Amino acid sequence: MTPIPHIVIVGGGFAGLWATRALASAPVRITLVDRHNHHLFQPLLYQVATAGLSAPDIAAPLRHILRRQKNVEVRMATVTTIDADTKSITLDDGTTIGFDFLLLASGATHAYFGNDQWAEHAPGLKTLDDALDLRRKLLFAFERAEATRDPAEREAWLSFAIVGGGPTGVELAGTLAEIARETLKDEFRNIDPSQARVRLIEAGPRVLAAFPEELSEKARRQLEHLGVEVALGTPVKDIAVDGYRLGDNFVPAKTVVWAAGVAASPLGAMLGVPLDRAGRVRVEPDLSIPGHPDIFVAGDLASLMQANGKPVPGVAPAAKQMGRLVARNIRARLAGEKTCTFAYKDYGNLATIGRMAAVVDLGKLRFSGILAWWFWLVMHVFFLIGFRNRLVVLLNWFWAYWSYQRAARIILGEDRDDPATERP
């Protein structure tokens, strides 16, 4: 063991970054590994996908956030193996790093429930690159609809489906409907963008299943008011390049977005301990893993039941709380004290739906509509990392609200796909 304990933290999301910060004054050295160079404010990722915000508006370089915390070294790298017994990880550049304590907080990715062939036709939304790809796909569909002279093809390009009625699906569907109806108004000559069909498909009986039933119902009505078709209780049966199958019907659609399933980061499986069905690591009440008290898992990768029998939800506040508890438990272990168990403190649940529409569930207090939207906006801007980002995001939103415009409606990456003439 080195004189100064070495803590390796994998993942610079909410769990990893909050744990890192909570160890600022601890007598340790920390290596924070992330495959990206930035912390991402994931709750606003759908705004980048729908061209409301630029990628840098919702991300900040990890190095910059942590520049004054001298006990941290940031490494931009991908973890290739984890060895719980020798207490070491290896990175994609070949480096092996030993640790005294490990926090694995590498989060989640999308899952297609055994239908991985759908990934090609129905991309998901987890990283900034996903968001930029999705932005290109959404904006490009209107370009193709405008260019074609074939009515059936035009209809297919103007047919959008979002699979999954959770917060991301609801946000995407509501915003896309607003873009079609308002933002793109007057800009096309051969199509009427407001005729675009935006369908939100949820296999379960209601949208926003984590919310009380009355708010789900309000969200559905607000979505329909924005022009979204909400299809409940019907799972998608197939997704192909030119459409999807819903029940017995094949619906032509060139643009399908996947917001339905989440699978844990594959790094969890390298720990050699039991996983739940979604691939998450079943952690002990103190967030360590069975048989390895020096290894912790936090955030979306951790699977833990609350005292009320419900799982800890995969949301940002839970990840932050877990990160902070891991930091506290590492300090306890270093001091020879007992670790604490995790208790999720639920401050409430918010989801936005579209222009001036949202739902808020604070336990006893539940509300929806304009007031909920303002509440959502203030909370999100408040929690956004970095002063400059907050200001730019607010400015973009005021501009978007006033003008119905979306600042980032730029199709990027066309050249990258093929430097010659073809496009997807």
Q: Which residues, numbered 153-172, are part of the site for a second copy (CB under 8 A)?
A: none
Residues 23-42 that bind a second copy (CB under 8 A): 35-38
Total interface residues for a second copy by CB under 8 A? 66
Interface with a second copy, residue 54, by CB under 8 A: yes
User: Is residue 4 a contact point for a second copy (CB under 8 A)?
Assistant: no
Here's the x/- map for a second copy, 349-388, by CB under 8 A: it reads as ---------------------------------------x
CA distance 261 to 14: 20
75 is an interface residue for a second copy by CB under 8 A? yes
Query: Can residue 61 be called a binding residue for a second copy (CB under 8 A)?
Result: yes
Q: Give me 174's structure tokens.
A: 């509501």
Among 27, 96, 117, 187, binds a second copy (CB under 8 A): 187
Site string for a second copy, 405-424 (x = CB under 8 A): x-xxxxxxxxxx----xxx-
What span, in angstroms and rounded, lies between the C-alpha atoms of 88 and 102? 9
Residue 28: CB minimum distance to a second copy, A: 14
Q: How far is the CB of 93 from a second copy (least distance, A)?
A: 6
**Binding window for a second copy (CB under 8 A); candidates: 71-79, 275-283, 309-317, 375-383:** 71-79
- 347 is a contact residue toward a second copy (CB under 8 A): no
Interface residues for a second copy in 281-340 (CB under 8 A)?
Answer: none
Distance of CA 413 to the CA centre of its chain: 22
Q: In whole angstroms, what is the distance from residue 139 CA to residue 137 CA?
A: 6
The amino acid at 62? L
Those residues with Cβ within 8 angstroms of residue 165's Cβ, 6 or more apart along the chain or in another chain: 200, 201, 202, 204, 206, 207, 208, 209, 230, 232
C-beta closer to a second copy: residue 310 or 388: 388
Catalytically active residues are 171
H-helix or E-strand containing 157?
A: helix 151-157
Could you say which residues in the range 110-139 bind a second copy, by CB under 8 A? 127-130, 132-133, 139
> How far, CA to CA in Å, does 212 sit from each of 74, 229, 348, 362, 414?
41, 21, 11, 11, 43
What is the Cα–Cα distance from 358 to 372, expressed in whole angstroms?
A: 5
* Options 86, 95, 117, 195; binder of a second copy; rule CB under 8 A: 95
- Check residue 391 for interaction with a second copy (CB under 8 A): yes
Of 76, 232, 275, 334, the residue at the interface with a second copy (CB under 8 A) is 76
Among 21, 64, 225, 282, binds a second copy (CB under 8 A): 64
Calpha distance 178→52 (Å, rounded)? 11
Distance (Å, whole) CA 6 – CA 114: 39
Instruction: Say if CB 102 and CB 91 are below 8 A apart.
Output: no
- The CA–CA distances, whole Å, from 61 to 12, 13, 204, 240, 356 equal 10, 12, 38, 37, 31
Examine residue 63 and tell whether it contacts a second copy (CB under 8 A). yes
Binder among 21, 24, 26, 80 for a second copy (CB under 8 A): 80
Binds a second copy by CB under 8 A, chosen from 24, 26, 56, 331: 56
Residue type (1 letter), 56: P
The CB density around residue 255, as the number of other CB atoms within 10 Å, is 24
The single residue among 242, 395, 401, 424 that binds a second copy, judged by CB under 8 A, is: 395
Residue 179 CA, distance from chain mean position: 21
Helix (H, G, I), strand (E, B) or coil at 176: helix
The residue (of 48 and 219) whose beta carbon lies closer to a second copy is 48
Q: What token pair was written down for 73? A: 């070294």
Tokens of 385: 């990392």
Binding site for a second copy (CB under 8 A): 35-38, 51, 54-57, 59, 61, 63-64, 67-68, 72-78, 80, 92-93, 95, 127-130, 132-133, 139-140, 143, 146-148, 184, 186-190, 388-389, 391-392, 395-396, 399, 403, 405, 407-416, 421-423
